[in-house]
Amino acid sequence: MPEIAFTYDANILKAVNASTTKLTQGFNLTSNLDTSGKVLLALASATGISEGSGSIVDVSFDVKENAKPCDMSELKFEQNLSLFDQAVQPIPFTTQDGKLLISCCTKGDLNGDNKINSGDSIIALRMAVGLMVPDERQKCAGDVNCDGKIGSGDSILILRKAVGIITEFPCSPPQIASLQGELAFQSCITFSLPHIAAFSGKCVTIPLKLTGDVQVAGADLAIRFDPSVLIAKAAQLQSHATNGILIANNNLPGKMTVSFAAASELIVKEEILLELIFDVVENAQRSSELTIEDALAYDNTGTPVPVVASKGYFSAASAVPKFTALFQNYPNPFNPETWIPFTLAQEADVIIRIYDLKGQLVKVLNLEGKAAGFYLNKEKAARWDGTNQHGERVASGVYFYRLEAGNSTARRKLVIVK
């Protein structure tokens, strides 16, 4: 027969009920819950507990209205405890005190209105791109997939709960080993930016393409660019993704951060997901790489989807380029085809020769006479299908390509993968 007493913080808790458990079913339980800050319990049975382990008494508490999120009460056993066998002989035992933590948040309720709706999803996206800084309660409330941060994966789950697609948040961080094993065999998606040119002082819209066989419901990414060439203005989802919410942060020089989330998946094959809108700096004469950083994507359960990012290139254009130049092919690495962009400062016959690492000529792309201008997008750039002069597929590996245009020459490296 055990006699138990423990204390708790009566400022935030009130003991309201005590009951036996499966292990002590049939025991007589006497409880005194009227003493503020203390629980007194006595259990008795003619037969006792023959075997097994587990809880012997369940004690229920009400949390008082003045209790604050993250308040904690220690649960401390008193020293005058006793435990007896059927012969009323003392049984030796040890005790371990506990703690009761008042929940720091309601998962998904970022705005603190005791509801979960699209407003909370929007706040999660704004926090993901850095437009809002979460306080301690919001850090707890916004991380509904328990990955340690607030991102579009959380926003997806909040949206799905708001519309009733799910009733609970999973909030179970994946095991590293199982995640790595899964990713090794999982299809991935590719975010890619184009090679594009626009006149200085004008506005340019740059498409961001999503390619793959995976269904995506949200993503977080950052686009780096040269702030002396481009000024970020806005981002917008394309028409096939209008069921989503998008938030962009344009206030960072040389960087635009974007997050979007949708309650249902976007079925991806090869789609322009969103458009990035920039102003081209007045009198800009330079070019800028367009680099995708920190790209994360999620399915409709908030689970990460593997991502590959392919950077683009922007050239601030005058009516005629000042220089003849050869740019990096895209995509790179590639299979089976790639495009080779270039600019011409004056009219010229253009030839691109491709060599292997031994210096042996593999392919000649004779583009013939070209006017001065920008040959950057797929409609104008040179295309190589990965074959040699005989139409045979070349082996995977590193190759060099050389531009010959009038008196100008330039060389770069490309990679074929199989």
C-alpha atoms less than 13 angstroms from C-alpha of 87 in its C-beta half-sphere: 3
Instruction: Give the pLDDT confidence of 181-206 residue by residue, as tens digits.
Output: 333 334 678 899 998 888 888 899 99
Higher pLDDT, 317 or 173: 317
Q: 322 pLDDT band (50/70/90 cuts)?
A: confident
What percentage of the chain has pLDDT greater than the value 90? 44
Identical fold for domains 189-317 and 325-416, yes or no, is yes
The residue with tokens 């328990």 is: 146
The residue with tokens 């344009």 is: 250
What percentage of the chain has pLDDT greater than the value 70? 91
d(CA 360, CA 103): 69
189-317 folds as Immunoglobulin-like (2.60.40)
Mean pLDDT along residues 62-79:
84
Return the closest-CA partner of residue 30 out of 61, 60, 62, 3.
3
Answer whether 58's CB lies under 8 Å from 41's CB.
no
Sequential DSSP letters for 80-135 = --EEB-TTS-B-------EEEEPPS--TT-SSSSS--SHHHHHHHHHHHTTSS---
For the beta carbon of residue 367, count every other beta carbon within 10 angstroms: 17
pLDDT at 223 over 90: yes
Q: Which CATH number fits domain 2-101: 3.20.20.140, 2.60.40.680, 3.40.190.10, 3.50.50.60?
A: 2.60.40.680
pLDDT (0 to 100) of residue 319 = 57
Task: Provide the token pair at 385.
Answer: 């299908």
Return the closest-CA partner of residue 316 out of 343, 288, 355.
288
pLDDT (0 to 100) of residue 368 = 92
Q: Which residues contact 405 (CB under 8 A, 6 or more apart)?
A: 324, 342, 344, 348, 349, 350, 351, 370
Q: Say if residue 275 is exposed, middle or buried (CB neighbours under 10 Å; 0-12, 13-18, 19+).
A: middle
C-alpha atoms less than 13 angstroms from C-alpha of 79 in its C-beta half-sphere: 0
DSSP state of 175: P
Range scoring the smallest mean pLDDT among 132-141, 210-219, 221-230: 210-219
d(CA 330, CA 235): 23
Range scoring the smallest mean pLDDT among 86-100, 261-275, 323-337: 261-275
d(CA 271, CA 58): 56
Return the closest-CA partner of residue 240 out of 268, 204, 203, 218.
268
Mean pLDDT along residues 114-131:
88
CATH 1.20.1250.20 applies to domain 325-416? no
pLDDT (0 to 100) of residue 65 = 84
Higher pLDDT, 265 or 203: 203
pLDDT at 176 over 50: no
pLDDT (0 to 100) of residue 416 = 96
Mean pLDDT along residues 251-264:
87
Q: Which residues contact 397 (CB under 8 A, 6 or more apart)?
A: 356, 357, 415, 416
CATH 1.10.1330.10 applies to domain 118-175? yes
Task: Provide the token pair at 296.
Answer: 């994360």
pLDDT (0 to 100) of residue 325 = 95
pLDDT (0 to 100) of residue 410 = 97
Q: Rounded to the nearest 5°, which phi and psi values hold at 124?
A: -60, -40
Question: Domain spans of the chain?
Answer: 2-101, 118-175, 189-317, 325-416
Query: What's the mean per-residue pLDDT of the chain?
Result: 86
pLDDT at 340 over 60: yes
Mean pLDDT along residues 299-310:
82
pLDDT (0 to 100) of residue 147 = 85
Answer whether 412's CB lies under 8 Å from 326's CB.
yes
pLDDT at 25 over 60: yes
Mean pLDDT along residues 382-409:
96
pLDDT (0 to 100) of residue 172 = 41
SS3 162: helix
